[in-house]
Structure 1
Amino acid sequence: MAIKLGIGVITYNRKDTVRQCVEALRTFTQHPFELVVADDGSHDGTPSLLERLHVPYITGDNRGIAWNRNRAIWWLKEEKQCDVILVFEDDCRPCVFGWEKQWIEAVEAYGHINHMPEITLEIDNDVSSGAGTAADPYIAPMHQAYCVGYHARALDFVGYLEVRFEKYGEEHVEHTHRFLRAGYGGLPQFRTPERGQVFFLRGGLETLPSESHGTPECVHRNVELHRQIQHELLYRAPWRSDEQMFLFREEMEAALNRPTPATQPSDNGFDAVVSLGGSEKISQYLEQVFGETGSRLFDGFMAPFHSLIALFETDFRDLFSTNCLYGYHDALRCRDSLIVYHNCLDIPPGERASVELFHSQLGRLKQEYQSYLAQLDQLCDGTQRVLFVRDWQETLHYEGSHRPSHTRVPDFKRLVDAIAARYPNLEFRVLFTNYGAASAADARMIFANSHAPDQCDEARKAQAWADMISQLGVYRHSDGSWDK
């Protein structure tokens, strides 16, 4: 069976260096491979660069080398099902065509292998034996992580890097010791694992000068932590708590659901932008990006996707149905339509939303929202080009940024057809946000995901929306409130 090769690059605030690494990998690698860059929260434009280079990437908050290397390993092992996994630091790159052949052979043979740079051989040569090849690797007590090879079957027993290590220092050393304890990648010393002998490969790669982001104080703390945990159980997950697990999963979901440029329309200018709801925050985000937007019809209630379709198909007949209303958190919900009424009621101080309050305000609600609907109809009379925006969130209490992959995919085409039927002369697009990997071969639809994790403040979520719109190139024909 053919070997599936995965190559990851870990980086932080080195966009020019990581670009050179990616270009070298694409130039000098002969064997087909899966590529991913794990970005540890860079703020120098690295994600935007990777988007332009069409490089799959995982990113999130700056959490240190251990967490970031785990991003790359998990992606290649679990998401892409690679057999041989090679992880580069961004200041190391191939320089010889077919360099990976020796690495694949070594990883297959030993389960774990490291790179020995030429500069190390010149300055700190502590090699006890070997020729630095797959058949006869160097054996040395040192630890370096410029490029590290892992076999999936070895990772099944050893697991991931210990995320208790702060930012920089000892994380690779401790991980390597666990491989030695499991019988991979060297000669273990069971009584003194810190003195194990590690296997290395020479040649085919080059290292570049770079500035470290670590500090001596951080390294000292990590050395002490390593001393304390060196005899703990072998296998480690890439998280230490439920919260960390959810954060890690969110990062993977965001990377899996990142859209491709092929889903973008050619004409990205619009006269008006209208929120179709989903999340109560969407109109706020859109206003921050575009300035003034269109009708506020969908700001006062939240309609599940199927209910939104029904509203357009039935002339909004059941928007304020009084059938089977019941309390839903701090709002009301209709059991028939599942529409949630949360921002449309005038609730006196100290009171909560109630069925009685809804009935007492029903006349006002119908009149007010009929005027909102009239505004929308006027906006969509065919003289303007309109962008509708629908976000996947359909509830008050679920914090998901992206639609989970196991949930039912909505009928996007039916919604678009319903809008087209109501406004037959209108030129429009519907931007579906945060629906994960969903897509459709319909020029009227645009799909995009924001890059904010679930657990972050509103300022970051708003910025993620602004970044998403900017990457799509969408703008509003107006008085300059949005600078394309």
Structure 2
Amino acid sequence: MSIKMPLNLSKNFPQKATDLKIGIGITTFNRSSILKETIEAIKKFTETESYIFVSDDGSSDDTLDIIKTFNVDYLSVSNRGIAWNKNRVLYYLLKYRECDIIILLEDDTRPTTMGWEKVWIDAVQKYGHVNLAPLHWPNEYLQGEGTVDNPFISIYLTGQCSAFSRRALADVGFMDTRFRRYGFEHVDHTNRFIRAGYGGIQEKEGEERLLPYLIHSNLEVRGLDKGPDYEGISFNSPIYKKLAKEEIYRHAWRGDEEAAFLRYEMFCIQEQTRSTQPPPPQQLEWEISTFNGEKIYYSPEYQTLRGKRIYPDMTEVQLQILEEGMTLTVKIDHSKHFLIFKKNEVILHTKNPQKATIFSISYTKKSGFGLHLDRKFLCYDITNEEKINVTRENLSEWETFFFLKYAIPNYKI
């Protein structure tokens, strides 16, 4: 079989890697020992000056402690799945570090040879997007040698390492956030690059096929004893088929709520290597509503939160971020008082934010946000005078709240 290669894109890039900003991103979840070795290998074997960024998708092991031992930018927030976590990396390195080329690694994929990144830089300069041909895979490719000048053309694809140019990301965008679990999120992303003319072949004779470019690299892939997430694949498969008919470009979010959430996560990033950081945001406030659109109010008579206006002097509630990480306190805007949890209810307490109760944020499948404390979720109780209390252990639409608007002073959007 002979397949025509597309146009070489290298004329659009500087010819020297020293003229480029390179970003290396690592996504991780509950594999602290593997992650440690991966970061060590990247630092040891990378010759090109690069930004390194690690995004931890809500690990429950000692991943965060491991990351803190390295001088790298990092984010460790609540679990939202593979597609969202990879978008965190791409968005940060593209929008905040303004990288020209981004190499995206999963935590089980580490370099083994000095200068491993150079083939990725060269390949992205040529094609805009390229993926890994793992050394342990059988050589069952349609064409090619796995080199930069003659990449494999493949019907198979893995997301363990991939690379992107700034221009290609501007045309194609990010992973679709409708993928919540494992399976197809990377295939859909690469297919959109190919349809846009980057990193693969689009065959249109007969049944259309999208064939990605893969290259060999001095990368060792571990964790091969872990089987596929068949449940996740089953969940994502119908989503993948539906998205194939949509337009190429995707934002890193869907809707204003997801946009607010991602931008808040960017606010939580710990930057280690930036010499001149922008001024931190003074505050971050979100106006919220219950799952059915009713605004949340504070009742001074009963010192509790309620789901709809009952008394004339009840005032709307906003949320203000006061702590690092995925936690928040609730503030009554007009009085500057903070709220605490007491006897299953949320009541007015103090003007001292240090004494306020801290609630954590969890994302729900219905595009809302759950606030929880000690493993129990804040609940809008329609059977009990529309009070907002802390009672339920399982997150469902009854515990879902929506962010209607947000304000981030001095914050780069």
- 1:53 partner SS: coil
Name the residue aligned to 2:155: 141
- The Cα of 1:217 is off from its aligned counterpart by 2.4
Contact 2:45 2:113 in 1 (8 A): yes
2:371 to 446, 457, 470: 457
Contact 1:60 1:453 in 2 (8 A): no
Task: Note the 1:229-378 alignment, pairs <5 A.
Answer: 229-256=243-270
- The Cα of 1:192 is off from its aligned counterpart by 7.7
Q: Unmatched 5+ residue regions in structure 2?
A: 1-13, 275-282, 285-296, 305-310, 325-351, 363-368, 377-413
Name the residue aligned to 2:401: none
Distance in 1 between the 2:158 and 2:119 partners? 18
- The Cα of 1:130 is off from its aligned counterpart by 1.7
Contact 1:113 1:185 in 2 (8 A): yes
In structure 2, do the counterparts of structure 1 residues 218 and 191 end up closer, same or farther at CA, with 3 Å as the change threshold? farther
In structure 2, do the counterparts of structure 1 residues 206 and 5 end up closer, same or farther at CA, with 3 Å as the change threshold? same
- Whether 1:115 aligns to 2:115 is no
Distance in 2 between the 1:239 and 1:128 partners? 35
Name the residue aligned to 2:72: 55
- Whether 1:93 aligns to 2:110 is yes
Q: Unmatched 5+ residue regions in structure 1?
A: 261-277, 280-327, 332-341, 344-349, 354-394, 404-431, 435-449, 463-484
- The Cα of 1:456 is off from its aligned counterpart by 5.2
- The Cα of 1:59 is off from its aligned counterpart by 2.7
Name the residue aligned to 2:217: 203
Distance in 2 between the 1:210 and 1:453 partners? 33
Higher strand share: 2
Contact 2:57 2:77 in 1 (8 A): yes
In structure 2, do the counterparts of structure 1 residues 50 and 113 end up closer, same or farther at CA, with 3 Å as the change threshold? same
Distance in 2 between the 1:73 and 1:23 partners? 21
Contact 1:29 1:97 in 2 (8 A): yes
- The Cα of 1:21 is off from its aligned counterpart by 0.6
The alignment-based identity, stated in percent, is 33
- 1:176 partner SS: helix
Q: Which amino acid aligns with 1:397?
A: Q
Alignment deviations for residues 169-197 of structure 1 (CA, whole Å, 9 cap, x no partner): 00001111100100000111347887222
- 1:243 partner SS: helix
Distance in 1 between the 2:198 and 2:92 partners? 22
Contact 2:21 2:101 in 1 (8 A): yes
- The Cα of 1:211 is off from its aligned counterpart by 5.6
Distance in 2 between the 1:222 and 1:396 partners? 37
Name the residue aligned to 2:383: none
Alignment deviations for residues 438-466 of structure 1 (CA, whole Å, 9 cap, x no partner): xxxxxxxxxxxx9955955352799xxxx
- 1:199 partner SS: strand
Distance in 1 between the 2:72 and 2:261 partners? 22
1:43 to 60, 64, 79: 60
Task: Note the 1:173-188 alignment, pairs <5 A.
Answer: 173-188=187-202
Distance in 2 between the 1:451 and 1:24 partners? 37
- 2:137 partner SS: helix
In structure 2, do the counterparts of structure 1 residues 24 and 240 end up closer, same or farther at CA, with 3 Å as the change threshold? same
Q: Which amino acid aligns with 2:109?
A: C
- Whether 1:397 aligns to 2:318 is yes
The Cα RMSD (Å) is 3.6
Distance in 2 between the 1:193 and 1:53 partners? 49
- Greater mean deviation of Cα atoms: 18-27 or 56-65: 56-65
Name the residue aligned to 1:105: 122
Distance in 1 between the 2:55 and 2:205 partners? 35
How many residues are aligned here? 297
- The Cα of 1:72 is off from its aligned counterpart by 0.7
TM-score, structure 1 as length reference: 0.55
- The Cα of 1:47 is off from its aligned counterpart by 1.4
Q: Which amino acid aligns with 2:120?
A: W
2:85 to 58, 68, 77: 68
In structure 2, do the counterparts of structure 1 residues 182 and 97 end up closer, same or farther at CA, with 3 Å as the change threshold? same
Name the residue aligned to 2:365: none
Distance in 2 between the 1:352 and 1:397 partners? 16
In structure 2, do the counterparts of structure 1 residues 351 and 243 end up closer, same or farther at CA, with 3 Å as the change threshold? closer
- The Cα of 1:221 is off from its aligned counterpart by 2.5
- 1:8 partner SS: strand
Contact 1:247 1:453 in 2 (8 A): no
Name the residue aligned to 1:226: 240
Contact 2:26 2:53 in 1 (8 A): yes
Contact 2:41 2:110 in 1 (8 A): yes
Q: Which amino acid aligns with 1:34?
A: Y
Name the residue aligned to 2:347: none
- The Cα of 1:63 is off from its aligned counterpart by 1.2
Distance in 1 between the 2:127 and 2:63 partners? 34
Q: Which amino acid aligns with 1:104?
A: I
